[in-house]
């Protein structure tokens, strides 16, 4: 039990910008495949939704329609029960509020989850380990 508490405390001390980081241990080819998977996922949803990327915003309890701006270059690896890659992309809503979305990409290079990482610069906590 002490070990678990210690690990939780250490995790809380890790800088909050970890998702903006880039893991140098991930090969460039893998990072490229993660980026390709994200772009394909984004393009697919944009095509299905008239140029908008829909996502549920838990703050407003509504689905917001976002405009895609750009992918981030950094990729990190996370996962306790299974490994996945995380990278981000920038979007805006119709009122020009900034949304930074995190994309969780499987080892098969498929986007399996999209989460709001930041909204108007405010970090959103969603419990990914």
Distance CA 20, CA 85 (A): 13
Per the model's pLDDT, the better-predicted residue between 115 and 82 turns out to be: 115
pLDDT, one tens digit per residue, over 61-100 is: 999 999 999 999 999 998 766 689 999 999 999 999 999 9
Asked whether the whole model's pTM tops 0.85, one would answer no
Give the burial string for 50-89 (b: 16+ CB within 10 Å, else e): eebbebebeeeeeebebebeebbebbbebeeeeebbbbbb
Q: 116: buried, middle or exposed (CB in 10 Å: 19+, 13-18, 0-12)?
A: buried
pLDDT at position 42, please?
98
Q: Is the pLDDT of residue 2 over 50?
A: no
pLDDT, one tens digit per residue, over 37-67 is: 999 999 999 999 999 999 999 888 999 999 9
Closest CA relative to residue 32, chosen from 68, 66, 73, 77: 73
* Domain extent listing, the chain: 16-123
Residue 12 banded pLDDT, cuts 50, 70, 90: very low
Q: Is the pLDDT of residue 127 over 70?
A: no
29 — phi, psi (to 5°)? -60, -40
Q: Return the SS3 of 32.
A: helix
Domain at 16-123: CATH architecture: Roll (3.10)
């Amino acid at each position: 039990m002490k070990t678990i508490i210690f690990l939780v405390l250490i995790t809380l001390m890790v800088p909050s910008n970890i998702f903006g980081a880039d893991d140098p241990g991930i090969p460039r080819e893998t990072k490229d495949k993660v980026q390709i998977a994200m772009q394909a996922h984004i393009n697919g949803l944009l095509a299905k939704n008239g140029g908008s990327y829909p996502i549920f915003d838990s703050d407003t309890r509504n689905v917001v329609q976002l405009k895609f701006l750009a992918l981030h270059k950094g990729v990190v690896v996370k996962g306790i029960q299974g490994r996945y890659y995380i990278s981000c992309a920038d979007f805006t809503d119709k009122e020009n509020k900034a949304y930074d979305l995190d994309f969780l990409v499987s080892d098969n290079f498929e986007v399996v989850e999209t989460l709001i990482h930041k909204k108007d610069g405010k970090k959103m906590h969603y419990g990914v380990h």
